[in-house]
Amino acid sequence: MIKNQSTHTHAAEHDGEFSHTRVPADRLLGRSHFAAAYSSEHIAGGEFVVGAAFAAWGASPATVVLGLLIGNLAAVLSWALVCAPVAVRSRLTLYQYLERVAGRRLVFFYNLMSGLIFAVIAGGMMTISASAIRGLTDAPPQVQWYPTSGLFVAAVLLIGLATVWIALRGFARVTKFAKICAPWLFAVFAVCGLAAWPYLTAIGGAQGLDGYETLQRYVWTGNTPDGSPSLTIWQIAAFAWGLNLPLHLGMGDLSTLRFARKPGYGAYSAFAAYGGHFVAWLTAGMLGAASAALLQTDIGKLDIGGVVVPVLGVAGTAAVVVASFTTAVPSLYRAGLAFHAFLPRWSLAKTTAVVGAVTTLIACLPLIFLKWLDLMAYFNILTAPVGAVIAAEHFILPKLGIAPFWRHGRRDQNNRAAWSVWVCGMALAAVLLAAGMHLFAVFIPLWAACLLLYTFLAYQQAPQSNRPSERLYHNAYGSDDIRLTTHTQTAKTALSQRRHPLLYGAAASLLLMMAGCGMLYLPSSPQQYTTAFQWLLALFSAAYFIQTALWVRLSGKDKSS
């Protein structure tokens, strides 16, 4: 059974997030929460960065599509089969789980590292949002490591303030915000492709090119600007799989999936992998190519504002800002949990507020955005060994007669096996990089090697038992009894509120957004209709948010009455 819960029970219940205890059955969340959270969190402003990057990296259309299909499938399986079972069975945050595995010293180190990672992700989203706002003004693009525009700094500060405020509302409020944004973000990225296509075909048609040839010539050319080798299918697959490694194989989503009623809810990460990554990256690449053609420049020279504003206008900027919010908020929430794990005297709200303030100041430096994708790859290397240790602790050791948390409660809680795995993992990563392995693929052999190494070291050091593995899980995690409570019954009753005229109106607004792209397919050049299209897109977007906001307000009154 998990020990030392009583020390922090009052604080955990007070902040409502159960950051030091198991999540009780009456606070579990349903499938719609996770579908919305994954849909919106992974349709972020960064998707515009990645979509344009594939074009700059010289991938061909077939390479991009096949690589993303394979890599995103691997990511979904990692969430559903690795992270979610650990989260649902233990009901602990990543940091509390790791403390029981490896002791407070490793937790202190990992919390610092993990908190910085998620803070950088949140800060990067703030920077990307501010860059999109810059696209509506005459402010210069932010291409230095330091800011060169007061407007850019002001935009970052305002966005940071809003991000912190939403994050302080807690995970349930975060998912409520995500539910509002997710359908609109899906529609916007569909519009990216639908709106970009007539611009691209007009250019290609003038040169006698068909649709696929146009994609090869102007979007995914198969050639890099500097003549370096283009990416292969397997490198793109590794990129798609590893982009969110800190969350799935790195176990960062223990902090959120612990609220899930069933491990199967990890499969809702498919909304992230295919809706947020596959579709968004493809359509963002098409949009970037169309904008580059309109501006008569190379796609590699565009910032986020340059990618979205020429075709989508104000609605494009709003899409980047909203999409960035839905990633920045849960990332800041995770960063707050990371630092709160070794600052238990502070409330989670205070910790999150302080982390958010510091993150906002750092986000004023465009360096985060300029090195965004490389930073994510290095973060994968740092977190992969820890995720492998947790996976071995949960999935493999009990089958060998070793209980999870086998070192917990000892006088010396410093798990030397875990430390050894992390150090050896960093050494292996350095060797692989020196040998020429692509940065995006290093995490794959690294995670597998650390999984096997920790299993071997733990088997040599841990006491072994003849008890069945389920009994070992029960002793470590506690009861797995999930009962249908009044709280969850209320959540089911709330399903009827989704059949509301305001929601039908909101759905109609999304359909009209996509239908509005039809004017760009009218005879003559699509540039003649660009301004009218942008106004329609902004109008229907505003209609969607007004109707969903009213529905949220009315449904809240119904619950309180």
The pLDDT tens digits for 120-144 are 888 888 888 888 888 788 777 666 7
Q: Look at 14-28, 189-203, 394-408 and tell me which has the smallest mean pLDDT.
A: 14-28
Question: What pLDDT digit, counting tens, does each position of 163-178 carry?
Answer: 888 888 765 666 677 6
The two three-digit tokens of residue 337, written as one number: 């949990």
- Using the predicted structure, report yes or no on whether residue 226 has a pLDDT greater than 50: yes
Domain of 543 in residue numbering reads as 500-560
Question: CATH number, domain at 118?
Answer: 1.10.4160.10
pLDDT at residue 370 greater than cutoff 80: no
Structural domain ending residue among the three candidates 326, 356, 371: 371
Q: Assess if residue 411 is contained within a domain.
A: no
Residue 506 sits in the same domain as residue 367: no
pLDDT band at 495 (very low <50, low <70, confident <90, very high): very low
Residue 511 lies in a domain: yes
Domain boundary (326, 352, 371) is at: 371
pLDDT at 542: 94
pLDDT at 8 over 60: no
In a domain, 387, yes or no: no
Mean pLDDT of 240-262: 89
Answer yes or no: is 434 within a domain.
no
Does 460 fall in a domain? no
Using one digit for the tens of pLDDT, what is the confidence trace for 321-338?
A: 887 887 788 788 878 877
**Long-range CB contact pairs, 2-6, < 8 A, 24+:** 2/92, 2/100, 2/405, 2/476, 2/477, 2/478, 3/408, 3/409
Q: What is the DSSP string of 485-523?
A: -HHHHHHHHGGGGGS-HHHHHHHHHHHHHHHGGGGGGSS
Average pLDDT, the chain: 82
- On the question of pLDDT at 487 being above 60, the answer is no
Separation CA 110–CA 102 (nearest Å) = 10
What token pair was written down for 300?
Answer: 């590699």
**How many domains does the chain contain in total?**
2
168 within a domain of the structure (yes/no): yes
| CA geometry: angle 191, 197, 201, nearest 5 deg | 170
Tell me whether residue 421 is in a domain. Answer: no
CA 531 centroid distance within chain = 33
Lowest-confidence region among 326-340, 370-384, 480-494: 480-494
Query: Which one is predicted more confidently, 115 or 313?
Result: 313
pLDDT of residue 13: 41
pLDDT at residue 281 greater than cutoff 70: yes
Cα separation, 399 vs 475, whole angstroms: 15
Structural domain ending residue among the three candidates 350, 371, 392: 371
- DSSP 3-state of 208: coil
Higher pLDDT, 497 or 511: 511
Residue 429, domain member (yes or no): no
